[in-house]
Amino acid sequence: MTDQRKFQRRIENFVCENCGAEVKGNGFTDHCPVCLWGRHVDVNPGDRASSCRGMMRPIRVEAKSGKYLLYYKCKECRHKFRVRSAPNDEFDLIIKLINK
């Protein structure tokens, strides 16, 4: 059976290097729900193609038709990146980053 989905779904638990939270991955988890920081592992969302592994700092949030887009900048290579927020993200932080 061949399944050529571009998005690689992997269950990955990790400890957030920014705040130390233990994050349970669900296969789509690409950032810490507690502090919203992420890790530079993707070139395109979900592909895990980057070897940078730098910490991705959330710089702002854009609200779009009821959904939230998190904008990141990698501390190592300054790569800019955008992901969708997850339902368990810390909402107070999202609000703080809106309209920055």
- Binding residue for Zn ion, selected from 15, 63, 77, 95, defined by CB under 5 A: 77
Secondary structure of residue 82 in the 3-state scheme: strand
Select from 5-13, 24-32, 62-70, 90-98 the region that touches Zn ion (CB under 5 A). 24-32
Query: Does residue 16 interact with Zn ion by CB under 5 A?
Result: yes
Query: Does residue 54 interact with Zn ion by CB under 5 A?
Result: yes
Of the candidates 27, 58, 25, the one whose C-alpha atom is nearest the C-alpha of residue 40 is 58
Query: Does residue 83 interact with Zn ion by CB under 5 A?
Result: no
Instruction: Please check whether residue 70 is in contact with residue 93, taking contact to mean a CB–CB distance below 8 angstroms.
Output: no
